[in-house]
Structure formats: C-alpha cells, structure tokens
Structure 1
C-alpha cells in the first residue's frame, strides 16, 4: 500500500512538472519487478520460416520471462499463413508448413500470447518486383498513392523509393476498396487462427508528399504549397506567416484531417468486426512515438483510435527523450506499451528506459531486436536478471468504446491545432510563452477561419489557369549533395571535421557522384548524391543557396545538422510556356504565384 501511494504521488508530480516546464525530472525512483506487465518481442517474418526457428524463439522468450510475441505474418503483400487473399511467401518452401499455426501452438504450450502482426498499407519495398501474379501490385495498380510529380507508387523503382525517402509502395488509405481488402485480411486471420491479438503496423501514410489519385477536398491538395507540409505547430498559435502561408497551412491541415479519418475508419472497422466475431481477441498497433508528429507527417492520429493496446515506437533518442515521450502518454486512459529499440541500444540503456517507464506507469514494453531473439540470449538474460526475474501476467483492460457526445459540435480547426502538439501540456505551454490565454487563442482562430473562408470564396474560386494559357515557368535547378553530420560530442565533432576535410580533398580528385557514394550520409548516397530538379519553392537554407549558384558550381554550407556540399548540375531558366505543358511541381509554383498576386490585390481593396 505504501508503494501504491508513493507511485500515485509520483505520477501527479511528473504531470505537474511537465505542464510547468515541459521536461522530465533528473531522477525517478523505481518499483520492483511488476507481477502484471506486458513484455513483448516483435518477431520479423523471415525468422518464422522454419519450425526449428519457431521452437527456439518461443523457448528464448519463455526463458527470459516475456509473455507476448508480436509475430509478423503479412509483409510485402505476402502471407506467412494459409491465406485465400494473399499469395504465400516465397520463403516458405514446405507447402504443408503453416508458420502462424505452429508458433501459436508452441507459444500457447509455454503460456505465451501470439499477436498477428500485419503490415497494413505498405505492400512492397524490394528492388525486384514480386513474382506472384496474385500480388496486389498486379491485381490493383490503381489502388496506389501518387507522389507530388503525379507518378504512381505502383510504378516505383528502388531508386524512386530512395529519391523520395520512402520505405516502399503504399496503398491509398482513402479508397473504400483498400479498406475492405485490408479488413478482410484481418478477419481471415482472426476467424481461422487461435490468435490472442491482431497488430497493425504501417497503418499510416508515407512521410512526404503523397496523394490520392482523386480527392473530394474543396482545394486541390496537389496545389497546396510544399512549405505547408512542414509547418510548426507554434506558428499556428502565433499566426506569424503571410496570409498566403496561413491559407496553405490551413488547407493542408484540414486535408490531412481527412486523410487521418480514412485510417481511423479502417481501425474502427477491424475493431468492430472482431468485437462481433471474437471479442476476446486484442487489437493493437505500432505507431509513431510523438502523437503530434505522427498526425501532421502521416495522418496517424492514433490518440483517437479505439485500440486495446497502443504501442508507440520510441526506438531512438537518449533516456530523457524517451522518458518525455512516455510521460506524454500519461494523459490517455488507454493501455499503452512502449516499443523500445533494442537493435539500436545496449541492454543497459534498455534497462534504464524500462525502469523509467515503470515509474511513469507504462503498462508494458515491446522490444524490436532486429536479429532473432535466440541470437541475443546474453542481451535478454541481462534484462531478465535486472528487471524480469519474476514472470508477469499480461494486463487485461475491458474494451470500452470512446463515448462521444454527438450533441456537442467539436471545433475541428481548434482540435487540429491542439493535436499537432506532442501533448496538451506542450500546447498550453506554447500559449503561455506567447502571452495568450485560451480565450485569446479561440478568438484569434475564429478570426483566422473567417479570413480563410473569405479568401476561399472571393479569391481562390476565381484563381483558375487554363492549360492553354501562356505563363512564366519557375526556375528549375538540378543538383547533387553530400551530407556529413556533426554530432554534439567533442570527439564526434573532431571525427566529423576530419571527414569534411577528406571530402574536400576527394572532390578535387574525383567526380562528385563517386565522392557522394563514398562519404555522404543522406538517403541520396546510393544515387551518387543526385537530388533531381527543384522548383526552389521551399523556404530553407539549401534552396536559398541553390538559387544563388551557377551551373557546375560547388558550395559548402553549414546547417544546424551538419555540413552539406552542393553541386548545381543544370539550370533551366524561367521561360514562357503553356501551363498545361508544365510538370506538376512547376504548375504548383505558378498557381501559388498567381494566388499570391490575387490575395495581395484583394487585401488592398
């Protein structure tokens, strides 16, 4: 009883500190090993390709007092179970072998739960195309998203994925056919197997500029400024941008809300379907760890999903960062486990994170190992000796649907701003830092929405450019880059600046692509640093430098993250051309330019 009281006081204290200063205390007193706690391991699909591996995975998990396995059974559009919907994985050579059935039987013998991990919207990511004619890429190429150049992800090569820094090809979450197809996969697994749970992964849009083929949103999403996609939540509170910038941010955020609703609808479909057929089956999801970033980057508004267990993937960052994320989850009354990056960190680092999470009343922890767990026995044994010496029961929470007062009309714009922050406390801290009360904020935002609606009706609707109209094209610059990160530590800086010296010397002796492939640290390294054409419509340090440079010019710039070497490969100067003949990115720049001119005229009337 004494510990329960201390724990309650501690949680209240943490919340108070977060609301006032936005950071974690330096020291947290920890409870002993808990009797009720979720302890999971994510098991990657290839690891269950043989019965022997399955036996070793289950034995290792049991020996180290884990009680849950999140087993990947749908990856790359292929199934690691007997499916009537998906093609069977080519890694499974024995036609009689059913990995999901086997691991469920083995795990249940040892008292472990099995949750079927299903990659949701991402369906392919390799260089070679899938072999199975039944694959969704061949069956429904029209179900895929398009990028900001208008290219379908169904046509992507590996270079395209690298270029756009995306993990693979994504289905359009807004299409009803996509929702039905994914729903049927979840229900097939639930009906045919004795799983303890089903587990969403990649249940989001890709990070970056990706769009549906067709949108019902009143403003064409492809014509919204790219800068709006990278907005800072604080700028919405300050209202410190130009009228055009704020118009773009408003419409990106409201369009992004529609994207997020499409994902929420799928989650609700699966939860409701399972509730009707097998209510004992748990529904969980792996999500981006920062709720605000998850929402604004990829439409993953997971705080609104009716899940049994939410698992934010807090893999990277130091102890303070992971702790701040876990502390932000205290504001939800739902069951939250924290996903920890065991593949990135030492066992001692993971031990500290679990201790801190326990002090913050996190319900459980799931490790992403990278390697099969039976190859990491020493690592897991150390965690067991320090934290998991006592076996634990999996927490059980009754599934209660979120109760929404239908008579109360929610202000969508206000809610969107609040949800762009990591937590409610961060939102109110931003208000205080800007000298505003909540009532001030509500009044200002009401004025903002009225302004946007006037622009919609009086300016935007009249801004039309016909394909045959002659316009001035934007300046296009094709460039390459080499990136060298500068760590914060002293010795890290010494090592980084030595590398910068090597790059400077190498560029005098070798071609830029050769040096980029050798030394660059960004995603364009495999492409020899080639970043393609840019329309110079982003407001950042690199764009400003490129706009000043000449063809074949090299320039070195220092950013907050590191040193970037730039080379301009080709410049296409502005010229007169029919609007319909421009590429999609250039059309957006021309449209934004025309909209800016009209807003300027309108504001002076």
Structure 2
C-alpha cells in the first residue's frame, strides 16, 4: 500500500527589518509572541514555519561564526538578547507538531544605506575586508571567493549540527539583481579563479552551483534527515518574477 503524501503548508516569518518580529523583546515577551504566532498558524492548518535566522550575515542564535542580529535586540550587532530565539521557535513549533525550517540569506551583509562600520567588529567582513563588495547601496560577500564559500558552508554546518531543525532554507542564493549602469565588482576574483571560463556570467553561475551542491552534501553528511530547501524564481519575459514552490534538492 502506498503511504499517503504529506502536504506542506508553510509560512515565512521574516526578521529582516523586523517585518514580522518586534524589536527589543525580552525572553518572556519573545516566547509569548512565538506561542501566539504558532497557535494562530496551527489553527489555520499550517504545518511548517520558515524562520529567518540569518538575514544579513548575522544570527538569531548564539554562533561562533556570526554576531547576534540587531533585529532581535534593536541594538548593535553582537549584543546578546540573553535567550536563544531559534531554540525557542524550534521547541514551540515541535510541541505543536509543526516543522521548523531555518531560513538563511547567504551573501547579504547589509541592507541599503548601512555601512560596514555599523557591523560588529567580529563580523567576518570586518576581519576579512577583502571578502566583501559593495553593489548599489548594499554590501555582499563575494561568491567568487573559495574562502567565502567555505565560510558559508561552515555557518550551515554549525546550524545543522547545533539545532534540531527540520530543514535549511536558502533564500537569495543567486547574485544580486542587476542594477542599471553598475557592474558587480568581482573582476579581480574572476581573473584569479575563473580562468577556465570564457564568460564571467558562466563563472558566476558555477560559483552558485558549487555552493548549493556543497551545502546539500554538508547537510546530509551532518544530519541525513534534515532537508535542504531553496527559493528559485522564474522570470516571464523579463517582466514578472514568479515565486516558485519550495522544493528539496535531490
């Protein structure tokens, strides 16, 4: 007999710019917010939550590789809220029979208009300034550098090893959207590492492919049951961006 398929009914909980989460909650306030949020979702038949835990090269959990996110405390990066937001979200989700996907944004370092000086001194882009590039009004980790990809792999491995998450969900896995009359400043990295590619665009795609493949392998090596989700998108005639369903890579 073929077992019934389980339908995934998920919602995103965004922490960047405090879209869905208030600033400066203490442990009791945060826990109450989580419980209220998940109770409402459970009542509306949701069975999974995609929770943003690394919005800008930071963390909503104690990490050895990234500073505390300012979006949890409202203060500066590295200021601890004195509780573990991710652990509380995982425990409360699992109590309700819901799955928890840890949502990460790999390359984004700042939101528009923010400076590197606003980041914690321990932030990897402060200790390794050659890893970061500015494009438009934002800073990004350079996907073309092997050391950057290795760092991102380490952050995912830390997350999977430390927490009882059901999946890692990667958003913005691609290079930033093109900005008119601006060039993504990775020509030096292309010259150093892209000698086997005739076109820089092909090299960039290969950098992304390498990262995605290695993240998947790292997750499965660390905890085989943890899924890997990714947010691809389709462009219809270069006019409409259509959000695609979250799928596990196979």
Residue aligning to 1:88: 68
Gaps of 5+ in 2: 74-79
Aligned residue among 118, 126, 132 for 1:144: 132
Cα pair distance change 1:169/1:66, threshold 3 Å: same
Query: Structure 1 CA distance, aligned partners of 2:215 and 2:130?
Result: 23
State the shift of 1:290 in Å: 3.1
Query: Is this contact kept in 2: 1:42–1:71, CA < 8 A?
Result: yes
Matched, 1:182 2:152: yes
Matched, 1:66 2:46: yes
Aligned residue among 204, 214, 222 for 2:189: 214
DSSP-derived class of the 2:39 partner? helix
Query: Is this contact kept in 1: 2:93–2:100, CA < 8 A?
Result: yes
Matched, 1:103 2:89: yes
Q: TM-score, normalised by structure 2?
A: 0.78
Aligned residue among 65, 75, 87 for 2:55: 75
State the shift of 1:75 in Å: 1.3
Q: TM-score, normalised by structure 1?
A: 0.34
Residue aligning to 1:121: 107
Query: Structure 1 CA distance, aligned partners of 2:215 and 2:56?
Result: 20
Residue aligning to 1:284: 229
Deviations along 1:242-272, one digit per CA (max 9) or x if unpaired, are xxxxxxxxx5xx4312111111111111111
Matched, 1:314 2:242: yes
More helix by share: 1
Deviations along 1:92-136, one digit per CA (max 9) or x if unpaired, are 346331110000000001111100000111111143432411123
Query: Structure 2 CA distance, aligned partners of 1:175 and 1:131?
Result: 21
Residue aligning to 2:7: 37
DSSP-derived class of the 1:283 partner? strand
If you compute each CA radius of gyration, which structure gives the higher value, 1 or 2?
A: 1
Query: Structure 2 CA distance, aligned partners of 1:74 and 1:314?
Result: 23
For 1:431-580, what aligned pairs fall within 5 Å after superposition? none
Cα pair distance change 1:276/1:292, threshold 3 Å: farther
Cα pair distance change 1:291/1:172, threshold 3 Å: farther
Query: Structure 2 CA distance, aligned partners of 1:67 and 1:260?
Result: 34
Deviations along 1:43-73, one digit per CA (max 9) or x if unpaired, are 1123356222211221121111011111000
Query: Is this contact kept in 1: 2:57–2:107, CA < 8 A?
Result: no
State the shift of 1:35 in Å: 6.7
Query: Structure 1 CA distance, aligned partners of 2:236 and 2:229?
Result: 16
Matched, 1:199 2:169: yes
Query: Is this contact kept in 2: 1:104–1:194, CA < 8 A?
Result: yes
Gaps of 5+ in 1: 1-33, 146-152, 162-167, 222-250, 294-312, 316-335, 339-362, 364-396, 401-605
DSSP-derived class of the 2:70 partner? coil
Cα pair distance change 1:291/1:200, threshold 3 Å: farther
Query: Structure 2 CA distance, aligned partners of 1:178 and 1:108?
Result: 33
Query: Structure 1 CA distance, aligned partners of 2:123 and 2:94?
Result: 32
Query: Structure 1 CA distance, aligned partners of 2:43 and 2:230?
Result: 26
Query: Structure 2 CA distance, aligned partners of 1:290 and 1:181?
Result: 30
State the shift of 1:207 in Å: 2.1
Query: Is this contact kept in 2: 1:44–1:71, CA < 8 A?
Result: yes
Deviations along 1:552-590, one digit per CA (max 9) or x if unpaired, are xxxxxxxxxxxxxxxxxxxxxxxxxxxxxxxxxxxxxxx
How many aligned residue pairs are there?
A: 220
Matched, 1:337 2:239: no
Query: Structure 2 CA distance, aligned partners of 1:111 and 1:289?
Result: 32
RMSD: 2.7
Moved over 4 A (4+): none
Query: Is this contact kept in 2: 1:170–1:205, CA < 8 A?
Result: no
DSSP-derived class of the 2:12 partner? strand
DSSP-derived class of the 2:160 partner? helix
Deviations along 1:67-90, one digit per CA (max 9) or x if unpaired, are 111100001222101111101123
Cα pair distance change 1:192/1:95, threshold 3 Å: same
